[in-house]
Amino acid sequence: MHIANPIYDVVFKFMIEDNRVAKAFLSAIIGEEVLELDFASQERIIRVPSGKESEVEKPLEGSGKNFTVCRFDFSARIATSEGGCKTVLIELQKAKLASDIMRFRRYVGLHYQNPDNSYGEGDSRKARQIYCIFLLGYDIGFPGSVVVSVDSAIRDVTTGKALSGPNEFTDSLHHRSWIVQTEQLKYHRRTDLEKLLSIFDQDNRTRNHHILNVDEDDFPEKYRPIIRRLRMASESEDMQIEMEMEDDFLKELQDKERAIEEKDRALKEKDEALAEQTKALEEKDRAIEELRQQLAALRK
């Protein structure tokens, strides 16, 4: 079966806009059942620079060389292990380049500052816990791990004892994170989650890198709607055009990053050469001074 490649932002956005698909996808990653999901896509346009023009971000509009970079925010009601439920904010971001880490930090910080990310009224208003999911197109140094969970442990400093159970104070000030290293998917299909995430495995690409070739039977039944949604995307001519635009933007961005790296490398080599010249001049000055002292001693 041919499906659209969700490594592309435009395809991933199409996939996740389906509420049923989004609930299944997020539930699989966080390991908790998402009961209800309110979706709010936060979108930004990055205009590819031309000439002396600089990159700008502004609300979604226009066309041409404009390229949409998406992150997704969800207000989710999830089932708890105690049999109740709680409402959390889930932020989902994806990136192909390691340079996006500062964007991640900025967006997470905005959520902590936003007074709307709370519930209740008046003095009883409380902060929602924040869940962060990062889908990365590169490795961050955990070989063999497809999904990494980051959850701050709470311990008594004196005894070293782990303190368990939900805590409003710590939940409000520390976010949980799940990091998906899509590069590791080529090696593993050990769990239902890894089977689902194999939709990001680029080893399944056809000659047309916009399309993946997968077998629907390889996916658990509960995730089949996700596969069918991606199949629908593969049949869209508009989606193909937008993926080509995304390719063009990424190539230009990578070319600019390479140019900056080469410029930085040239400046570093220049600085090192200047430092060597300065050192040589200092040694020459010392030698001249020693010779001057020797000549002065001989005259005496």
234-245 pLDDT, tens digit each: 988 888 888 888
Is position 282 within any domain?
Answer: no
pLDDT of residue 63 exceeding 70, the answer is: no
Is position 250 within any domain?
Answer: no
**Which residue range forms the structural domain that includes residue 77?**
2-236
Task: Look at the block and give the residue holding tokens 């499906």.
Answer: 3
Helix (H) or strand (E) holding 93: strand 85-95
Is position 276 within any domain?
Answer: no
C-alpha distance from residue 50 to each of 53, 57, 246, 257, 263 (Å): 5, 15, 16, 15, 19
240-278 burial code (b ≥16 CB/10 A, e <16): bebbebbeebeeebeeeeeeeeeeeeeeeeeeeeeeeee
Task: Please give the pLDDT value at position 100.
Answer: 64
Task: Please give the pLDDT value at position 69.
Answer: 44
Task: Please give the pLDDT value at position 33.
Answer: 93
Task: Write the pLDDT tens digit of every residue in 182-213.
Answer: 889 888 889 999 999 999 998 999 988 899 99
d(CA 47, CA 102): 19
pLDDT of residue 293 exceeding 70, the answer is: yes
pLDDT of residue 52 exceeding 50, the answer is: no
Task: Please give the pLDDT value at position 46.
Answer: 41
Q: Which of 59-63, 194-198, 236-240, 277-281 has the lowest mean pLDDT?
A: 59-63
Is position 243 within any domain?
Answer: no
Query: Which pTM value belongs to this model?
Result: 0.71
213 Cβ neighbours under 8 A, 6+ residues apart? 1, 2, 204, 205, 206
Is position 145 within any domain?
Answer: yes
> Is residue 14 within 8 Å of residue 31, measured between CB atoms?
no
Task: Write the pLDDT tens digit of every residue in 100-139.
Answer: 677 777 778 877 888 777 777 767 777 888 899 998 888 8
Is position 33 within any domain?
Answer: yes
In the chain, the percentage of residues whose pLDDT exceeds 70 is: 86
| Better-scored residue on pLDDT, 178 or 137 | 178
Is position 262 within any domain?
Answer: no
Q: How many domains does the chain have?
A: 1
Parallel/antiparallel/unpaired status of strands 85-95 and 129-136:
parallel
**What average pLDDT does the segment 263-279 reach?**
88
Task: Please give the pLDDT value at position 127.
Answer: 83
Task: Please give the pLDDT value at position 84.
Answer: 83
Is position 44 within any domain?
Answer: yes
- Average of per-residue pLDDT values in the chain: 81
Instruction: Output the CA torsion 93→99→105→107 (10° steps).
Output: -50
d(CA 37, CA 42): 15
Task: Write the pLDDT tens digit of every residue in 154-169.
Answer: 888 989 898 877 788 8
d(CA 43, CA 114): 17
> Is residue 97 within 8 Å of residue 253, measured between CB atoms?
yes
